[in-house]
């Protein structure tokens, strides 16, 4: 990926940071988006610059602001002179039952998980077509089998799965669009997921009987961007087999 430029949303920590490191190690220049994790973003940019000066850029933006989305793309192209790939990794995640549905929760979960990837793809489309680029969306295994108690999140990720296939049609033949559906990779930061018994029960449903690692997702992103020129419109489950064993 030498000389290629990749915009990664939510790239400051957790899975997003692993994606940034993996693509950077393959030679890519990284535009690292963050919303509130400024300290993590700056630290990661410094780490990447230490390996290759001038190879990373951190950009703050609220993905719920449509104008900020087009600015993300514009700043990336202005700084690096091009854009070759977009990784829609950023995501809001919290429980919503039917009784919890309101405008605020809808705008947050649908906005970050579905609307933002759509508008970023729209903003980047011309440049990605020109460079025969690619998009990778981070979906969820619960896009196909909704998670109880997470109504809006499941709807949003289901929409993102549909968006992946629709964009693959819309942007062909110049741009490839694929997605990754993670399983148990990094536990959510919400307090309700700290229960060890609940974690063990979830892991027991994976065929490999263990958690995955952020690098499992990062390697798959690199594969889809760099090593899969004849793959588009696909969603790869990286979940230790959990999705076929629920």
Give me the active site residues, please. Answer: 153
Do the Cβ atoms of 128 and 172 come closer than 8 Å? no
Q: Which of 62, 72, 71, 6 is nearest to 37 (CA)?
A: 62
| Closest among 117, 88, 68 to 7, alpha carbons compared | 88
Other C-beta atoms closer than 10 Å to the C-beta of 51 total 11
Dihedral in degrees, nearest 10, Cα atoms 174, 180, 186, 187: 120
DSSP string covering 41-76:
HHHHHHHHHHHSTT-EEEEE--TT-HHHHHHHHHHH
Tokens of 222: 């690199």
Neighbours of 50 (CB within 10 A): 10
Tokens standing for 158?
């289901």
Q: How many CB atoms lie within 10 A of CB 35?
A: 18
Distance CA 222, CA 243 (A): 22
Q: Rounded to whole angstroms, how far apart are CA atoms 194 and 171? A: 41
């Amino acid at each position: 990926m030498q000389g290629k430029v990749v915009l990664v949303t939510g790239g400051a920590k957790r899975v997003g940071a692993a994606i940034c490191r993996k693509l950077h190690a393959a030679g890519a220049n990284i535009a690292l988006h963050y919303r509130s994790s400024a300290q993590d973003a700056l630290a990661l940019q410094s780490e990447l610059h230490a390996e290759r000066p001038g190879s990373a850029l951190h950009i703050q933006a609220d993905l719920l602001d449509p104008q900020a989305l087009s600015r993300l793309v514009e700043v990336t192209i202005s700084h690096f002179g091009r854009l070759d790939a977009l990784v829609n990794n950023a995501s809001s995640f919290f429980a919503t039952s039917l009784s919890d549905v309101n405008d605020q929760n809808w705008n947050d979960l649908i906005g970050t998980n579905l609307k933002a990837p759509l508008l970023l793809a729209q903003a980047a489309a011309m440049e990605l077509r020109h460079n025969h680029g690619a998009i990778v969306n981070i979906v969820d295994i619960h896009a196909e089998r909704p998670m109880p108690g997470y109504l809006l999140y499941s709807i949003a990720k289901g929409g993102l799965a549909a968006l992946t296939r629709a964009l693959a049609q819309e942007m062909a033949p110049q741009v490839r669009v694929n997605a990754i559906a993670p399983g148990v990779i990094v536990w959510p930061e919400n307090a309700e997921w700290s229960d060890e018994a609940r974690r063990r029960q979830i892991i027991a449903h994976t065929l490999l009987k263990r958690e995955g690692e952020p690098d499992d997702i990062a390697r798959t992103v690199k594969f889809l961007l760099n090593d899969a020129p004849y793959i588009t419109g696909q969603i790869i489950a990286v979940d230790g087999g959990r999705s076929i064993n629920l």
